[in-house]
Chain A
């Protein structure tokens, strides 16, 4: 079982939250090429190691946040709410 530390609600079972995958900076849709946009949409690093990812506290505070998780051990390092550093752009989450 994975306990995800929501910055507002504290540690919660992963099943209570929505997992939104790897966190990548979104390219500017006005200026980027279709290839850049599709790269953002589809291609993933998918490392076996530390990964910054997006979560949504769907049955709690309904906030989007990022956590840093080790994809092999399940260890968690930090949780970041949008607005705090390094900032989450509006379109970056669902």
Chain B
């Protein structure tokens, strides 16, 4: 009797969960499907899920008519560049705070976090003017600098929470064996900390890839990443749903795949360790 009831409730909850998650996922699925339709099919009053002529025309149109590939490279350079530079700056800081804490460490961490909460409009004008004066407007270098700085607090914080869980005894044992500090970092700490460092890198690539305030304001034709490229579809000419879909799919798929791998780290990183 009771197994029967629990079986029935499992069927019910499964159906409900699939229905709701299907609805949440539907806009992405619909974009994916539309990207393979003709423009006429894409606005058809009797839209079809699968029964239409599948075509790759939109993808070749987007690639042919716009420097899509340049924008893609810009996104890669900005997201990866800022994450790697950020790691190089953040790892020593997080190491220092996790293993040689002082009375001020906690305040320092909180202060770093507070910089993340500064609304971008609070520094919009000075950054814009400084970028103009240093000829950094619409350059990849400029965007790498900004992305590194806005994500640095998250990086230090995430790495700190990972490093803090590494037992001190391991480092002390290495020290007893006469390891120097550099040996300690490269041969003992880094191998243990590698998963944490990888997750930090992953989360920051995702955040930088999708960042859409500074990238829209500080970039134009040359350095525009995909966020800004897609924004150019907001003033369309003629039929464009299928092409918008194709461009969108190409912009989101890499990060969607990375994102699914980093679900757990996402919670930890974005809640600053408040929820683990």
Q: Are the chains A and B members of one assembly?
A: no
